[in-house]
Amino acid sequence: MQAPGLDGRPAPDYVTAMARAPHADRFAEVESWVFDLDNTLYPPEARLFDLIDARMTGWIMAALDVGEAEAGRLRRHWWESHGTTLAGLMAEHAIDPWAFLHHVHDVPLDRLAPDPVLAARIAALPGRRIVYTNGSAPWARRVLAARGLAAAFDAVYGVEDAGFRPKPERAAFETVFARGGVDPARAAMFEDDARNLIAPWEMGMRTVHVAPAPAAAPHVQHHAADLAAFLAGLAPVAA
C-alpha cells in the first residue's frame, strides 16, 4: 500500500485499501488484541451457553438444596451483585470454584465447527493475540481447539488467572493484563457483553462489542456483528 502522494492527496491504491479497511486507522497502534471467548469467538447461534446455563442451575439446585426457580433467582442476584454466578457463589457460599467450573464446562462441543476464515484473520493481526474469559483457561482451550483457532493465539487466560475475580471488575482486567504484559493504551478488547467493555474503555483500550445488535454507550467504540468481517476491515493494520 502506497503512502499519500507528494501533492498531499492519497495515492489510488491507498484510497482503495482504506475504503476496504474503514477501522484500520483507529487500530494502527494496537499491539495486544484481547478477545473474550463465549459468544465472541463462536457465534451465539451455536447456543453452547444454553448447555452451560442448564448445568449451572443444576449445580446450584444440588449444592444449595433449592428448586429451579430459586436457583434462577439466585443467579440473577449474583449476576447483578457480583458480576457472575461463580463470583456470587464464592462470596456468599464459599464454594470451591474448580468444582463448579469442572461441572458446568462438562458439555459436548459438537455444536461448534472450525472457522478457518476467522483463524486466518486473527492470526494476521500484528502483535500479541490473547483470549481472556470468565470461564476457565482449560475450557477456553477446548473451545479454541473445536473452532480451529488455537494456533492463532499467543496466550489464554481464564478467571483463575484473575484470582477468580470476574469481568467486569477492573481489578480482574488489571491482574490479567499485568500477567500478560498488556499495555491498555496500545490494546483492543473484543467482547459480547457490553458491560465488560467499561473497564477496558476507562483504561484506554479500543473497545469492540461483538454482538448481533450494537449497544449505544460511550464505552462501546465499535460494533462487530460479524467478527471475521470486522477484522477484515483492519487489513492495512495486519498487512
Tens digits of residue pLDDT in 78-135:
988 888 898 899 889 999 999 999 999 999 999 999 999 999 999 999 999 999 999 9
Q: Which three cell numbers stand for residue 23?
A: 477501522
**How many residues are present in the chain?**
239
**What H or E segment, with its residue span, contains residue 140?**
helix 137-147
> Distance between CA atoms of 155 and 180, rounded to whole angstroms?
8
d(CA 235, CA 21): 6
The span from the CA of 134 to the CA of 86, in Å, is: 9
Structural domains in the chain, sorted by start:
12-44+113-238 (3.40.50.1000), 48-104 (1.10.150.450)
CA distance 14 to 204: 28
Q: What is the pLDDT of residue 238?
A: 64
Q: Note whether 57 and 213 are within 8 A (CB).
A: no
Spatial CB neighbours of 112, under 8 Å, sequence gap ≥ 6: 42, 46, 48, 143, 146, 147
Please tell me the predicted confidence (pLDDT) of residue 2: 36
Question: CA–CA separation, 52 vs 54, rounded Å?
Answer: 5
pLDDT digits (tens, 9 = 90+) for 8-49: 433 333 333 333 456 778 899 999 999 999 999 999 999 998
